[in-house]
Chain A
Amino acid sequence: MNITATPALPLGDDALILSHRLGEWAGHAPVLEEEVALANIALDLLGQARILLSLAGDEDELAYLREERQFRNLQLVEQPNGDFAHTIARQLYFSTYQELLFNHLAATDSELAPLAGKAVKEVAYHRDHAHQWTLRLGDGTDESRTRMQRAVDALWRYTGELFEPVEGLETVPWAALHDSWAARITSTLEQATLTVPEGPRHGAWTAGAGRQGLHTEPFGRMLAEMQHLHRSHPGATW
């Protein structure tokens, strides 16, 4: 398989994998409006993934024929959906990151600038959707507050990786991006009457190595399901 070295690959993998996870919600959402909203976000991300992966090679070969250790996505995006609060926390962390990164990339002369410029409008909606739900769940009922706090705490350990430098994106000011991210997340969580998590975000080897191809246990199962049919018919056209 020909894979071009480009930062489009790790960013494309983020979009591909999170889109897949969101697709798992179809038919399970808590309310009909969220069936539409979650599918909409999944479709936006899949659209981004297809453009980004095509810059690195053949989109289907990359999606369906790579092994787990060849994927470069963040561990955050591969985390299972959990309850609706976990899905929202994952989206809040990721979309806030993606909006800041794409805003930056859109203003550069990188090959990713056109995609970033277009996608940032979609991503701003994804972040707002996650932000609004974080407020509703955090400042809703006792149960929803407990669940939302548990979710932001559980996923916190995967957020350090968001600001690790990415090969080919050396000009991105990662530290500044991190500070903006932390300020926005803090603001949302405080408005939602939640506590900003304080646990570790770096150090443990299991968290923060997705960009190097080290993933978490649920990821292998996810890929097995995603790739099974394509791999069962080698060379077939769909």
Chain B
Amino acid sequence: MTTIAPEETAREAVFDATVAADERIEPRDWMPDAYRSTLVRQIAQHAHSEIIGMQPEANWITRAPSLRRKAILMAKVQDEAGHGLYLYSAAETLGTSRDELLDKLHSGRQKYSSIFNYPTLTWADVGAIGWLVDGAAITNQVPLCRCSYGPYARAMVRVCKEESFHQRQGYELLLTLSRGTDAQHAMAQDAVNRWWWPSLMMFGPPDDESAHSAQSMAWKIKRHSNDELRQRFVDICVPQAEALGLTLPDPDLTWNDERGHWEFGAIDWAEFREVLKGNGPCNEQRISRRRQAHEEGAWVREAAAAHAAKHGKASR
């Protein structure tokens, strides 16, 4: 028994040194239990966000107004399913199966990004999601490409490449609407009005209220604070909105020359907390739809398993 403690200490020292040297922790390396569970929680939430996030956009696949836009949208929703797959695989490297994580999603024990609890009411929402929601996601995720956990960092490299493609497509969709007929321009402005504030909430609560931030920063899972990333996003969006010919729904937006940043108005954190608690416009709909797809697919998954059990080894 007396030899265990020094070994633990030695392993922990190796872990700390690896993180300090900005090198990657790999699946077979020793890691503290809390590091593992923090990563599982974060990666799972990210994977769940990808698959729940398919719903608001898939809502418009069958109504896309041109074949080109339909192809772009279908490809985008397919990419999200693909991101879900890489991320569940990254979580599996930490010893947690996809089934276990899906159970936690379906039973409400794990969350997904609250942004997807808002509805896509018009075609322009597809553009606003691309520009603002994917834009915010990229701002959050680019630093994760340097996350201390190797499989997550590598998954994020690929995810970010595809996300930036989606972001440009969303921007271009909105630009076309903004320069189109009066009705199209109004549709674009309305979508931006509805998606702007929820997008700012995607960076999470202000730094002084963020529950997980400090430890995650120390472990180099997280590299920048919520407020830093939010400011970076606002600074990127203001000139882009101007180029789009659209306005952002914040009368307090002003350039602060001294700080070199755009100042923005107060975020309605009461709304954020309500949506997080389950009282957003689509929380119930999104999770019911997900559970329904899973339950209705059960017989298919059982059939595949039964067939593999009968033939799997023989056919390979």
Residues of A bordering B, CB below 8 Å: 16, 20, 23-24, 26-36, 39-40, 42-43, 46-47, 49-50, 53, 59-60, 63-64, 83-84, 135-137, 139-141, 143-144, 147, 225-226, 228-230, 233, 235-238
Q: Which residue of A has the minimal Cβ distance to B62?
A: A225
Instruction: Judge whether A236 and B302 touch: CB under 8 Å.
Output: no
CB contact under 8 A between A229 and B303, given known A35-B78, A40-B78, A42-B74: no
Q: Which residue of A has the minimal Cβ distance to B187?
A: A233
B282-301 Cβ-contact flags toward A at 8 Å (1 or 0): 00000001001100111111
Q: Of the 9-residue stretches B14-22, B136-144, B194-202, B304-312, which lies at the interface with chain A?
A: B304-312
Q: Of the 9-residue stretches B106-114, B175-183, B213-221, B224-232, which lies at the interface with chain A?
A: B175-183
Q: Does B69 contact A (CB under 8 A)?
A: yes
Bound-state Cα–Cα, A99 to B15, Å: 55
A-B pair number, CB within 8 angstroms:
141
Instruction: Judge whether A24 and B62 touch: CB under 8 Å.
Output: yes
Q: What are 29 A-B contacts with C-beta separation under 8 Å?
A: A26-B74, A27-B55, A27-B289, A28-B289, A30-B296, A31-B297, A31-B304, A33-B85, A35-B84, A39-B75, A39-B81, A42-B74, A43-B78, A46-B74, A59-B67, A84-B297, A140-B304, A140-B307, A141-B299, A141-B303, A143-B299, A143-B302, A144-B302, A147-B299, A235-B181, A236-B181, A236-B184, A237-B176, A238-B66
Q: Which residue of B has the minimal Cβ distance to A28?
A: B293
Instruction: Judge whether A26 and B307 touch: CB under 8 Å.
Output: no
Report A-chain residues with C-beta under 8 Å of the C-beta of B293.
Answer: 27-30
Report B-chain residues with C-beta under 8 Å of the C-beta of A43.
Answer: 71, 74-75, 78
Report A-chain residues with C-beta under 8 Å of the C-beta of B98.
Answer: 32
Q: Which residue of B has the minimal Cβ distance to A39?
A: B78
CB contact under 8 A between A136 and B54, given known A36-B85, A229-B65: no
